[in-house]
Structure 1
Amino acid sequence: MYETTGTGGHVPVMLDRVLELMAPALTGSRPVVVDANLGLGGHSEALLARHPSLHLIGIDRDPFAIEFSTRRLAAYADRATLVHTTSDRLAEVLAEAGLESVDGVLFDLGVSSPQLDEAERGFAYSYDAPLDMRMDTDQELTAEKVVNTYSAGQLTRILREYGEERFAPRVASLIIKERGKDPITSTKRLAEIVRQAIPAATRRTGGNPAKRTFQALRIEVNAELVALEAALPAALDALALGGRVVVLSYHSLEDRLTKQVLVARTRDTSPPGLPVPLPAHQPRFRLVTRGAELPGEEEEARNPRAASARLRAAERIRVDHED
């Protein structure tokens, strides 16, 4: 999701590779691609420019993303449908558009540059801002509500699962203690509480100690992994024969989930020992990438936020009614 085209000059992450991977699936007379995490619309704009007959459906939960991309894609307004909703509603969005299948689905996960760079959104520990972290500013749950109302057990769980924070119980305990004095309402105060909870020896390495806690809160507030767990299988189910899914993830939890879903769909599930594979157990998909692909050194130098990107892709090679 990290890109700042139109707001600072960087191109979308791994753009050339995304276009290259999508191209074989978009050779029909009127191909359809879903950009399930529209963001600033950089990938979508490039796809629309590259494929003159393409129709694009862009989904994003952030009203700013929809507004910005509507302006950005104005030249393609007759070929672009933008929907303000979450990616886990992908199947419903396609049904409402009257589409039984699509030719490509792109997931560009993570946080967009405006969300990180606008202090008032509360995503970054480098600014002092209200504890918000909502991608969809219309929803009720905020990071402030999580920090001030979740139990020690709930906080420990999300810090451990979503932030991979090995000192999760210590961080959760200090949050409970400090919020008992005054509600925790700012990113600066939360970052300082986390810093105090992390042992001094650990603080000296690995960057800002608040990074893992802020990641965990962001994932919890926006139900990011829950959305991906529903959206990625729905995207695979929606692909036409020859259709492709491309996933850009930015932390190990997203990439691990993506790998698990894609590997499961590309595996032959025939019982072992049979002389011939059973058609019903043949994989419907094949992996297009070998493992997770990484951005090149040049791209990382140009756009440091791309450094954590991992790209995986798969293609539908069979349809169910062939059995």
Structure 2
Amino acid sequence: MKKFRALLVSKTETGQRAEFVDWTEDQLMPGNVTIRVSHSSMNYKDGLAVTGKGPIIRQFPLIPGIDIAGKVISSSDARYKAGDDVVLGGWGVGEGHHGGFAQVARVKGDWLVPLPKGFKPEDAMAVGVAGFTSMLCVMALEEQGVKPEQGDILVTGSAGGVGSVAIMLLAKLGYKVAASTRRMNEADFLRGLGATSIVDAAEFNTPVKPLAKARWAGAVDSVGSVTLANILSQIVPEGSVAACGLAQGMDLPTSVAPFILRGVRLIGINSVTTPFPKRLATWERLARDLDMAKLHTLTTTVGLSDVPRVAEDIVAGKTRGRVVVDINK
């Protein structure tokens, strides 16, 4: 059986080890669609998985990579046939099921969507789970009635994958965006994405008041913990926060005050198991509302061999925007 290249993470006595291996299809996990992977992407979760600096991988050994784009090799799912271009993000791939950092993947057809119209595989991976999550956050704010004329929208982790795409989407839709970052030297980059103001993330890493001065009509938060708690205390009456990440931690040291005294709404965003109809609708919105030319300017492409190095950088906060992985480089 023909071999293919993969990045495999194994458990060791002192932690875990990531190494490149030659594998065959019979070593892959069960699934009804086999894909020739052309591209993947690097997300914060991928960085944690590859470096072992977060408990992301649930089964060892495992091929990480939560994003997949490629062509179907074979399928017993009637919805897909050999040669179809497909995209996958989420569903525990790269965490408990072999993921996209390999030249071949086998997955369940239920996890796939056809490559969205107007996207190349590398474009879809420039969006990836991060951009998909950003769109879900923006849609959640819209569903809660947050309108551009109501005030500024705060975006945390703004130089990262979710934050950078969220700024682009919100700006194009007419919102004024305040970009929160701990890297103030990225101010020009963030304004180029569409941010109208820059806020030092340190402002949200202070002791939490039950209620603080109302500043934001809404927020997209990928940080969690004390940052999210402070943001909730600063949302205007009837405002909303879309929460999608926990880079700072899973805790939330807040009180009920923002919710019962200002009617603040906290909306949790689950991009992992989003139902198929909503996935399609979200990709349609991305095709309509995302400036692909601008996305390309904040996208870096690396080869599969670069993944371990980039994983260290992304966890250390040294990357910005989106990182696409060309699996065959």
TM over 0.5: no
Superposition TM-score, scaled by structure 1 size: 0.36
Structure showing greater radius of gyration is 1
Superposition TM-score, scaled by structure 2 size: 0.36
Larger strand fraction of residues: 2
Larger helix fraction of residues: 1
